[in-house]
A and B are shown apart, each in its own frame.
Chain A
């Protein structure tokens, strides 16, 4: 299928395909999350459910290490200005 027949005319249409699917979202501030996308808008504000958020924390010092903090949320509103990337999760 080419672009015109798949109904994709603008980049945001790609996100539409991921509605009610699990998506991977990269955010500012070294944050990433995966969740099921329920809604989005032109500002990339997202509503996600069943979210797991990962926060990378760089520990300063001689040996700079990276630790990962995780948390889970049932439902989340993500403000669009923090969103860097939205993609389907990598399928293994």
Chain B
């Protein structure tokens, strides 16, 4: 075997010399000299002479050892072991690709046909010793192909050709063997028939059976060993592979020479090649095994059929089997005691396995499975099962093998992954982990835990109230006055969380107390003040440092807003100071204005309408204030805390509400700007949305003022002035924006003024309607959804008052006043009745050629209009009824017609149409069913 291109025989010889401790003082022969007489070759100093005896007839130890090495031979256990252990690695890695053709290869091939080999011995039917537990049958193709595969780089075709050849060879071999065996059997049978004594013949038969069984068992064992060997090899290689590919981070060499890398790569390449070859080999072997088994079975059946009828059943008796097993057991024991190294991986770890980092358990499992299957097959064969059954069982066995292999693969992947990860085990000590936890928790502690966790807290309160639990407990851990940790929204059940919470609480308490202690210590060290250099107050530098040091202002009261909002609180204070002086001046002017009845317009403080930015800034300040007020409400002291505290709280609260009132700019005179600043504030969606939160804190008087202003400037609202956009059909971003604003207005602004109107008396409603119609485009207002909603609100309120369901009975003057207003409104709207419907307005935008196209959802858009008309009809006189009916006749008929003639998409639309019409007709005392087509 030439490892590094040396002449291999000398190497071998040198090793032998060294090992045997002989010929130490021999002169070194110089083979290359010219005076060399060639006698050296004749010398028997190779120590190869006894190799045949030692290694079962193979010439070269390292090569012919392949598969047919006689492990049970007791000679030189140490050396065997070493050679064996090195064998796969040697082949896989250490052999350079361009080594010289192996000299010993032909020898190994020849040994197959050698008469001295165990194989041919067995063919001759003699001397079948139980001490050689392996069979050479599967060996020849495997070994030869393995040898050939290693001699240089070859193509796939070559490999295939070789494999085919080897398969052919083995088949011929098997045929030959079969024929010979048959011949032998027949001969023997003939001979035996001739023999007179039945007992003797039985004895012979039994002997034969036992030997055959033994033979089979040995075969199974040998195959197992082969497979195991290959698996170990593979595993080992893969392991090495992995280890080289992903060294643990701490074990990475600092610098690797490029040569080393190259070497690694080459080795990896080798390993891959080797793995592929192994796989091919295994497949091949499996095929072969199947074929051999098949042939065996045929042979057996032939044998059985050829048995003479007068003979006793040829199957062995139970006693025979027991004896056989006993014998096998003993033999195995003997082998083990004789030379432990010669039985690799049978029941003790093989030499290879010793070197593995972990013992693959499932390989053992697989082995056990395989051996069990072999055993089972053996028993089955003995019992003489039918061939079909056997076939089925064999298929089953194959499936199991495949399954086991798959499982093995899976398990190995998992194990390698775990091993890969386990490199990081115990990288951190417990104190490291505690340290990090402390840092993390310390970041959670804040001065105002409730505000910092505001949204989660509010959400949690909502959830709790929905579940019917008490809503007032704040999920906040507090540590005296210094701060606390917000716990977020409550979680649903689970026993783990409370534990974690408790642990965190303890952690935080510890941290807080530690911090306090440190603070005290710092106080002790204050004599260092003024010393050169600076003392570091922080004990852990690893804590994240605050990047931005924004001056949070000197706000003494704890702000309920988010920390970044604190500057605003501060600013808004300054703001409000200037504003309050402003407001005072304005109030003075307004007073003068009202006194002079608004005649002298030059006295009016005209202002430019608020810019977009001013609106947004004001709204942000408003949000700050609202949050402040809401926090203050939450902090409302209990009556038992003393009148003084309550008084102080009330003062704070009133101050904040006053600020909001001022900020809302409601008190600015009407003509200040167009649109009025307050209306400008409502132009932003968030301005609309904040209104209910603001008005909640206002008293009745302020609300009336606000409502009056809103109604007086109603047409200035963006939702009114841009309502026409909603009638267009194409879907533009502007239209979507108006839609969004309209929704916000309906849900927020109307919602906040609704309670005042609902509670208002007839005089108020009358005044408001008058205000709405005074100097404003009432028709435009009525054509918008918010305007229509407002009008409907007024009309229904009046209807309720008329029904007498109010505390304050209005006077006749009030009624007369209202009738005046109503008639005026009716008069204004009369020519526009059909145009109040969005469907009519939209139809104007439809293309001329198809004016009757259906707009989806149009009926639900029309519904508020029908409602308004119904409310109008309730108030109207009989003449007004006639006007209503005549102007709306077409619309009503259109709806009823399309509903009854089925010009609708579905039943739902028909119902909506009819319901809409009936809503209006019922107010007139009619019904859609009375209309006949």
Contact residues of A with B, CB < 8 Å?
A: 1, 4-10, 12-13, 16-22, 34, 42, 50, 52, 88, 91
Chain A residues with Cβ under 8 A from B736's Cβ? 50
Chain B residues with Cβ under 8 A from A19's Cβ? 620, 686
Q: A7-B617, A17-B617, A88-B612 are in contact. List 20 more A-B contacts (CB 8 A).
A: A1-B614, A5-B574, A5-B578, A6-B617, A7-B575, A7-B620, A7-B621, A8-B617, A9-B550, A9-B567, A9-B571, A13-B567, A17-B613, A17-B616, A17-B620, A19-B686, A20-B686, A21-B684, A22-B737, A91-B612
Given contacts A16-B620, A22-B737, contact A7 B568 (CB under 8 A): yes
Contact residues of B with A, CB < 8 Å?
A: 548, 550, 564, 567-568, 571-572, 574-575, 578, 612-614, 616-617, 620-621, 684-686, 689, 733, 736-737
- Look across to chain A and name the residue whose beta carbon is closest to the beta carbon of B621: A7
Given contacts A5-B578, A7-B621, contact A18 B616 (CB under 8 A): yes
- Look across to chain A and name the residue whose beta carbon is closest to the beta carbon of B572: A7
Most chain B beta-carbon neighbours within 10 Å: one of A1, A7, A22, A88: A7
Most chain B beta-carbon neighbours within 10 Å: one of A17, A18, A34, A52: A17
A7 & B571 in contact (Cβ 8 Å cutoff): yes
Chain B: minimal CB distance from A19 (Å) = 7
A10 & B550 in contact (Cβ 8 Å cutoff): yes
Chain B: minimal CB distance from A3 (Å) = 10
Given contacts A1-B617, A9-B567, A88-B612, contact A20 B578 (CB under 8 A): no
Chain A residues with Cβ under 8 A from B621's Cβ? 7
- Look across to chain B and name the residue whose beta carbon is closest to the beta carbon of A3: B571
Chain B: minimal CB distance from A14 (Å) = 9
Chain B residues with Cβ under 8 A from A8's Cβ? 617
CA distance A91 to B572 in the complex (A): 28
CA distance A19 to B736 in the complex (A): 18
> Which 10 pairs, one residue from A and one from B, show the smallest C-beta to C-beta distance?
A17-B616, A7-B571, A7-B568, A20-B686, A6-B617, A9-B567, A5-B575, A20-B685, A17-B620, A16-B620
CA distance A75 to B140 in the complex (A): 71
Chain B residues with Cβ under 8 A from A13's Cβ? 567-568
A4 & B571 in contact (Cβ 8 Å cutoff): yes
Chain A residues with Cβ under 8 A from B689's Cβ? 20
Chain B: minimal CB distance from A32 (Å) = 14
Given contacts A1-B617, A6-B617, A7-B620, contact A21 B686 (CB under 8 A): yes
Chain B residues with Cβ under 8 A from A6's Cβ? 571, 613, 617
CA distance A50 to B736 in the complex (A): 10
Chain B: minimal CB distance from A40 (Å) = 11
B574 & A4 in contact (Cβ 8 Å cutoff): yes
Chain A: minimal CB distance from B574 (Å) = 7
Option from A1, A7, A21, A34 in Cβ contact (under 8 Å) with B685:
A21
- Look across to chain B and name the residue whose beta carbon is closest to the beta carbon of A91: B612
Given contacts A17-B617, A17-B620, contact A5 B684 (CB under 8 A): no
Question: What are 15 sample pairs from A and B whose C-beta atoms fall under 8 A apart?
Answer: A1-B617, A4-B574, A6-B617, A7-B568, A7-B572, A9-B550, A9-B567, A10-B548, A16-B620, A18-B616, A19-B686, A20-B689, A21-B616, A88-B612, A91-B612
- Look across to chain B and name the residue whose beta carbon is closest to the beta carbon of A17: B616
Chain B residues with Cβ under 8 A from A16's Cβ? 620
Chain B: minimal CB distance from A5 (Å) = 5
A5 & B616 in contact (Cβ 8 Å cutoff): no
CA distance A29 to B550 in the complex (A): 33
Chain B: minimal CB distance from A60 (Å) = 32
Chain A residues with Cβ under 8 A from B571's Cβ? 4-7, 9
CA distance A29 to B735 in the complex (A): 30
Chain A residues with Cβ under 8 A from B578's Cβ? 5
Chain A residues with Cβ under 8 A from B614's Cβ? 1
Chain B residues with Cβ under 8 A from A88's Cβ? 612
Chain B residues with Cβ under 8 A from A42's Cβ? 548
